[in-house]
Amino acid sequence: MIIDETTGTDAGRRRFLATCASGIAVAAAPTSLFAMSEASRELSFYNTHTGESLTTTYWEQGSYHPEALAEINHLLRDHRTGTDHEMNRELIDLLYRLQTKVGSHRDFHIISGYRSPKTNAMLNGKSGGVAKKSLHMQGKAIDIRLPGTDLSDLRKAALALRGGGVGYYERSNFIHVDVGRVRRW
């Protein structure tokens, strides 16, 4: 036991109680504030190739909704082969964060979500800009635009989030975002 000579009290006990009190205050406030500010996460999509639209709440009260994620997976399927694939939840959350950052509630226009290996090989054969081991084939990448948001502003917001790779395709009017390592092109 360490006794504080100025007060005659146990200094270790006093430090312990102060640490506990501040820890409780710090832990409780941000968690409750975050939970109150984000009770649910909703996204809207428009697939430019199939014409399909989807608005869904995919996360609520701390849990992902499997049915909503399945709907997202289907909408983001490889439109050439019809193949569904599980899209990475971090990617879906990145889209939510991106939409929040730019302050939009409009539909993400989907240029390319999941790509089957067959589709990726075909696209790679037509263009040098398609990676042979594209993260699209793992459900970890998506090519998007967001109507009402300038493409360069969307790119800047995606870069600021530092959630993964960001590609800028101004001529084709879309950006690529993925949850791989942080990089840009």
Domain CATH code at residue 138 = 3.30.1380.10
Question: How far is Cα 36 from Cα 34, in angstroms, rounded to an integer?
Answer: 5
Please say whether the beta carbons of 111 and 143 come within 8 A. yes
Assess whether 33 and 53 both reside in one domain: no
pLDDT in tens, 56-88: 999 999 999 999 999 999 999 999 999 999 999
Q: What is the mean pLDDT of residues 87-116?
A: 98
In terms of pTM, does the model score above 0.85? no
Lowest mean pLDDT among 24-38, 108-122, 154-168: 24-38
Assess whether 65 and 89 both reside in one domain: yes
Q: Which two structure tokens, joined as six digits, stand for 155?
A: 């790119």
Instruction: Report the percent of the chain where pLDDT is more than 90.
Output: 75
Q: Which amino acid is at 14?
A: R
Assess whether 30 and 61 both reside in one domain: no
CA 88 to centroid of chain Cα atoms: 9
Lowest mean pLDDT among 12-26, 45-59, 142-156: 12-26
Q: Which two structure tokens, joined as six digits, stand for 38?
A: 């984000």
More confident residue, 141 or 19: 141
1 Cβ contact partners less than 8 Å away, ≥ 6 residues apart:
10, 12
Assess whether 20 and 77 both reside in one domain: no
Q: What is the mean pLDDT of residues 24-38?
A: 43
Assess whether 8 and 49 both reside in one domain: no
For the chain, what is the mean pLDDT?
A: 87
Assess whether 11 and 102 both reside in one domain: no
Number of domains in the chain: 2
Assess whether 86 and 111 both reside in one domain: yes
Residue 72: half-sphere exposure toward Cβ, Cα within 13 Å:
28
Question: How far is Cα 72 from Cα 114, in angstroms, rounded to an integer?
Answer: 11
Assess whether 28 and 107 both reside in one domain: no
Question: How far is Cα 136 from Cα 48, in angstroms, rounded to an integer?
Answer: 17
Assess whether 129 and 171 both reside in one domain: yes
| Number of other CB atoms surrounding residue 66 within 10 Å | 9
pLDDT, residue 22, reads 47
Assess whether 46 and 71 both reside in one domain: yes
Assess whether 81 and 129 both reside in one domain: yes
Assess whether 105 and 139 both reside in one domain: yes
The whole domain housing 178 covers 38-184
**Is beta strand 183-184 parallel, antiparallel or unpaired with respect to 165-169?**
parallel
